[in-house]
Structure 1
Amino acid sequence: MTKMTGGTKRSWPGWARRGFLENVAIALILLGVVMLVQPFSITLYGWSFLTVLVGVVMFTIVSKFPE
């Protein structure tokens, strides 16, 4: 059994850090809103709610990750 000292942190991969994934989630939310308000394609409009929803759920989960 290993002891963890107060100064050590777990090592997370670089792609799983909060900063990068939060930015991806925010980009998904913004993309979904743009898809919602664009006047050109009904297909994009149809997928906009799911895109925003995925971004919000991802942001909620990722905000619990370490920095």
Structure 2
Amino acid sequence: MTGFLSGLVRLRRGPWELLATVLIALGVVMLMQPYVLWLYTYSFIVTLVGTVMFIVVSHFPENGR
């Protein structure tokens, strides 16, 4: 867990891509659930933020220095 948090702080690609992927998956799950209207309402925004975040962080450095 410490490695993940330090990767976020140091702007490394791996942890940020993982976070963006989780946001995309969360948005899709929110879109497909039929029970809570506010989850459905914000699903597109969550998916869009995750997608844009993934595009931006794909330009971050891999690992190392």
TM-score, length of structure 2 as denominator length: 0.81
Larger Cα-atom Rg: 1
Match of 1:14 in 2: 7
Letter in 2 for 1:22: E
Alignment of 1:1-67 (within 5 A): 14-15=7-8, 16-67=11-62
Q: Secondary structure at the match of 1:55?
A: helix
Gaps of 5+ in 2: 1-5
Gaps of 5+ in 1: 1-12
Question: Which protein has the bigger helix share?
Answer: 2
The Cα of 1:14 is off from its aligned counterpart by 2.6
- Aligned Cα root-mean-square deviation (Å): 1.0
